[in-house]
Structure 1
Amino acid sequence: MSDLRIWFEVYTKALFRSLPLLWTAAPKEIVFLVAVTLFQGFLPALSVWITKLVVDTVATALSTREELGYATLVPLLIGWVGALLLQTLLDPWRLALQGNLNDKLTAHISLMLMSKAKTFPDLSRFEDSKFYDELQLLQEQVRYQPLNLLANLVELGRSFVTLVVMVGLLIPLAFWIPLVIAIATVPQVVVSSQYGKTIWLTLFENSPYARRMQYYTSVMLTDSYAKEIRLFQLSSFFMKLYLQAFQSLHQSMRYLRGKQAFWSSSLAVLSAFGNGFAFYWVVKKAFRGEFSPGSVLLFVQSLTYFQQNLEGFVGNWLELFENVLYMQQFFNFLDSTISMPLSIPGEKIPTPIRSGITFEKVHFRYPDSGWALKDISFTLYPGETVAIVGENGAGKTTLVKLLTRLYDPTKGRILVDGIDLKNLNLEQWRQQITGVFQDFGRYALTLRENIALGNLEALERPELLKYAIEKADIVNLVNRFPTGENTPLGKQFGGTELSGGQWQKLALARAFVRKEAQLLLLDEPTAALDPRSEYELYLRFVELTQGKTTILITHRLASVLMADRIFVLKAGRLIEDGTHDELLQRGDEYTTLWNMQAKQYR
């Protein structure tokens, strides 16, 4: 009983929290939709009542052998046709309102999801599979669950109005009839509700299977994997994986849906017996002459409408239950706490940085993983260029994530001019950083917008955009297009597709457009460049990094010769630190890596 009470409180809280959210998204549409739908709830009763009057009038005329005059017949005819016409005319407007409302609700809630995601300052959520399971379920159902919540609420109101009016018509015949039918329906409501909750929770628990299905579909239906799928003949393999995930998801859902259908249909028999008894009682009364023909017709139609709307009321309530469970999950997402503590407003960023950036006995481990960095200590001095080398998994990219505060150290500190990085204003700190990451973004925007993403001021400052284009050496690329900087890029929306090297140069321009940044991060900045472009880039390296503290992560050791210092990472530890010549003289890990690459060119 205590669990039921807690569940009811949670359900009610989520429902009442949803109402102002829906109202904020589209107040005008909601007002009109509610008004139209509730008005439609009165129309069946009006139609039934007019039908009764018509039948009784005709029966009286036949029994008395009097002719029906136009004065009697026309008002009844107009009323009956008018009620029917109103129902027909209002439906298209209600559907149009629902369409407009759905658009606004989807946009409003999607923006709320994005706004919440914006508040996550680190990457812990985005590298957690459970986060994606939860988010995918919210995204997949955002187009219909919020609208259905409102639609079901309104339909509940309409059904309730119709039920009340029908009860008013039935009570003069027999007050107990609506009561018997309602009582006979209660067990069906309770059982269906319980199964509805179980089905939703099972769907949420199985969302990893749904996400795998979506992933396998994207592998088969997007250009990213099209070449390998065809070359290695992988279509059947991924279709098999999709089918396995589908069967895992479908099996549990099919079992629960079957049980829900069985109990609902079994308990519906009880409701049918209630209707049958009421119908027998009225017919028996009519044979005794206690009810007029119109009253019998009124009873039959009212009972039909009552049963239909009671079933509709139950159905809407069950669907509303599912909608509220979705909204509860949505609110849980909105209420989720931020894992990284922030200092607000935080200390100001030293401009310029004078003593440097110091890693002090830094350790870091990812959730459910071993140590990625162990006891890292060094100082980046203002204006110097440091190259970081090491095998895959040595911790190079993790070090950059800590420097950009996409994660905090598990142990140890990062100091900027002696101030703990955790105490600085995070937004201002990231404005001091620019760079190119190995997995840089390829955005389906214009060329100009792709560059300006590094500093949105460039959209209004052509000289800043021109500076970045020249720095990244893509002047010829821009001039090649008839529409220049306004050329749409990417296949998604019919834009021009660039080569891998051209995209990487565009990413470099995006880094350089943040002109005032003090820290430049280059994570494999030439991975997609051809040898000539790479050579030209490194010839200009000193010019490009002038006035900035630069970190260069690369596997191509020839490019580290221009660095002031070289850090060698291995298994998460900083094992060497020095210039190229100093490290070669030591004959340790760096020398081994250098000689391995040098042999490839002999």
Structure 2
Amino acid sequence: MGSWANNLITRLKKTVYLICNYAKIFCRSIPLLWKAAPRETIFLAIALLLQSFIPAIAVWINKQVVDTVADILSSVKEYNFWTLGSLVSLWVGTIFLESLLPPWVELAHRNISEKLIADLNLKIMLKANSFVDINRFEDSHFYDELQIIQEQSAYQPRYLLSVLTEGIPELFTIISMLVLVSPLGWWIPLLILATSLPQTYVSFKIQWDAWQALSQKSPQARRMQYYASLLLTDTYAKEVRLFGLGSLFTQRYLEAFQDKYQTMRRLRGKQAFAFSGFAALSAAGNAFAFYSVVQQAFTGKLTPGSVMLFIQSLAYIQQNLTYLLHNCFILQETLLFMERFFKFLISKNTMSVTIPAKPVPYPIESGIVFENVNFAYPDGRLALAGISFTLHPGEIVALVGENGAGKTTLVKLLARLYDPTGGNISVDGESLKNFDIAVWRRQIGVLFQDFCRYSLTIAENISLGDIEAMDDLERLKKAAEKSGIADKVESLPEQYFTLLGKQFGGTELSGGEWQKLALARAFVREEGSQILILDEPTAALDPRSEYEIYSHFFDLVRGKTAILVTHRLASVKMADRILVLKAGKLIEEGTHEQLLEKGGEYATLWNMQVEQYKF
């Protein structure tokens, strides 16, 4: 067998595989419509079937009318009012039904579309929330996929519904028209299909290549979006203008666009050439069929109505084939989105969850032990190596070290946002992995240095630390007082019910005030928690606010196991113990006085900060 034959077989196999794969995804997608809006889906299906066959019925009625009139004019039949009246009434009925259905189809389409988009987005949100760790969100490939799904979920479900709403009538109209013309010659439907299907196949192939190329250029599309946001959002407005960055970011935007555009331009050109060639083939097939029908009419084998039926049917077939082909392109892209969507829904956690889980000890008795803990990020970067220490119940421990030393990573391991890639963390002798992860996290109140700013009310912002406190205003006020934000809140007209953030027209806070609010979120959780973690809790605060927080901090956390992560060493002197990290390793451990006596890394950092305050 020649190489061309092998290539043909390979292509056919690939085509069959793609068709089967698309069919499987399509069959999985349709039930989503039913689940989102069952009643509207039933109505839409019935309406679409009616729309599908109305053109064929109208064409058949036209043929009967023309043939009846021709017979009467040629004196073959006598004029019969009831026969002609019935045909005209039936024709008027089909036209009326054809004009009546579209607004109701559009209404059902819009209702289903809104429900479907909401349903798919809800599934995406629930699936993303099901990932118990944050490794997925730090995997660039996975995050690219998630961003594509999130962006396209706003319109691809609507495209799926549009394709069904338009494509089903087009497909059934084509089938019914082919059935109508088959009595004129059994080979006519076959000829029309034979000259049209190659165009469909090539178009699908090119569209697949375009989708693959678009997927590969997804990072470029995201860069374009990112560079545009740098010039169009308030977050970067000051620095963009101060440093004159506008031309740089517009140039970067153009570079990303050109890289993406050149690839897509070549594929679109290839598609246009293919369309032109196969359009000529389709026209030739139609011309031959038309010549044959007209020739039969001249010889008396076909009636004038049959000629008109062929002309109208062929026009419907060509028109609907064009529309159907266009909808097939959209459907192909939508099915590829749905394939991504379904793969996302079945993606698994990278962190194992023990079922049934062991109960979390309350209170913790012997402490939390880090045993030779290592952690490496997905890209291979080693963040922690050989970390071993014990957190005793009720102990206040400070983590210090330069940026990138691994302090925040260690805190995330304790909160089980990651699992160690080596070693073990245990609580009262039981591995942290064996506990119910949700119950364990409820034992921890935490403020991360990259805390979140929620466009919600002040009360809601604070209560996010413990949702059960949402309606407990007194508890929220106590947390606000502990964090030092209470005076600011009391000065606002709506106080704790003040909406924050510019996104919905709320009040904007300063960076320090936002940090105090995030600190209140950590404090509101402390009543039911055993561990309090503050990661750079005063990074955005002025000296007075910082002094006030630290003056009360050790009283606030008394009786709890507390971890304080900070660069400012003046605040750690009262800690029971200080752990010094450098380049992911624990290099020193002791009290403030002990570490100064050692004259090591801590003493060096302390003396550097002391020297700064001498000026």
TM-score tier by shorter-chain length is over 0.9
- The residue number in structure 2 matching 1:355 is 366
Correspondence 1:286-435 to 2 at 5 A: 286-435=297-446
**Are residues 1:568 and 2:580 paired?**
yes
**Are residues 1:177 and 2:204 paired?**
no
Label 1:242 to 1:162 Cα distance change in 2 as closer, same or farther (>3 A): same
What secondary structure, in the 3-state scheme, does the structure 2 residue paired with 1:441 have? coil
- The residue number in structure 2 matching 1:450 is 461
CA distance in 2, matches of 1:402, 1:600: 33
- Report the residue type matching 2:561 in the other structure: T
- The residue number in structure 1 matching 2:552 is 540
CA contact (8 A) 1:102 1:144 kept: no
Shift of 1:598: 0.9
- The residue number in structure 2 matching 1:597 is 609
Shift of 1:512: 1.1
CA distance in 1, matches of 2:509, 2:40: 44
Shift of 1:9: 4.1
**Are residues 1:11 and 2:22 paired?**
yes
Correspondence 1:66-77 to 2 at 5 A: 71=82, 74-77=85-88
Cα displacement string for residues 100-144 of structure 1 (whole angstroms, at most 9, x for unaligned residues): 211111111111111111121112111121122111211221133
CA contact (8 A) 1:220 1:229 kept: yes
CA distance in 2, matches of 1:129, 1:332: 17
**Are residues 1:225 and 2:236 paired?**
yes
TM-score by length of 2: 0.94
Instruction: Please say which of residues 66-75 and 134-143 is displaced more in the overlay.
Output: 66-75
**Are residues 1:79 and 2:93 paired?**
no
User: 2:158 aligned to 123, 131, 147, which one?
Assistant: 147
What secondary structure, in the 3-state scheme, does the structure 2 residue paired with 1:225 have? helix
What secondary structure, in the 3-state scheme, does the structure 2 residue paired with 1:574 have? strand
CA distance in 2, matches of 1:313, 1:393: 57
- The residue number in structure 2 matching 1:494 is 505
User: 1:528 aligned to 535, 540, 563, which one?
Assistant: 540
CA distance in 1, matches of 2:90, 2:235: 64
Shift of 1:69: 7.7
**Are residues 1:93 and 2:104 paired?**
yes
CA distance in 1, matches of 2:587, 2:328: 65
What secondary structure, in the 3-state scheme, does the structure 2 residue paired with 1:171 have? helix
- Report the residue type matching 1:129 in the other structure: S
**Are residues 1:257 and 2:276 paired?**
no
What secondary structure, in the 3-state scheme, does the structure 1 residue paired with 2:136 have? coil
- Report the residue type matching 2:241 in the other structure: R
CA distance in 2, matches of 1:297, 1:152: 30
**Are residues 1:165 and 2:173 paired?**
no
- Report the residue type matching 2:57 in the other structure: L
Gaps of 5+ in 2: 1-9
CA distance in 1, matches of 2:305, 2:84: 15
CA distance in 2, matches of 1:425, 1:82: 66
- The residue number in structure 2 matching 1:29 is 40
Shift of 1:237: 1.1
Gaps of 5+ in 1: none
Cα displacement string for residues 334-363 of structure 1 (whole angstroms, at most 9, x for unaligned residues): 111211111123111110111111111112
CA distance in 1, matches of 2:310, 2:477: 81
**Are residues 1:461 and 2:472 paired?**
yes
User: 1:580 aligned to 592, 599, 610, which one?
Assistant: 592
- Report the residue type matching 1:264 in the other structure: F
Label 1:165 to 1:11 Cα distance change in 2 as closer, same or farther (>3 A): closer
Identical pairs, percent: 56
Label 1:68 to 1:535 Cα distance change in 2 as closer, same or farther (>3 A): farther
Instruction: Please say which of residues 401-410 and 458-467 is displaced more in the overlay.
Output: 458-467
Label 1:6 to 1:72 Cα distance change in 2 as closer, same or farther (>3 A): closer
Label 1:104 to 1:536 Cα distance change in 2 as closer, same or farther (>3 A): same
CA-atom RMSD in angstroms: 2.0
Label 1:210 to 1:417 Cα distance change in 2 as closer, same or farther (>3 A): same
Instruction: Please say which of residues 517-526 and 139-148 is displaced more in the overlay.
Output: 139-148
CA contact (8 A) 2:396 2:562 kept: yes
What secondary structure, in the 3-state scheme, does the structure 1 residue paired with 2:137 have? coil
What secondary structure, in the 3-state scheme, does the structure 2 residue paired with 1:540 have? helix
Aligned length: 602
CA distance in 1, matches of 2:49, 2:15: 31
CA distance in 2, matches of 1:481, 1:38: 60
Shift of 1:180: 0.8
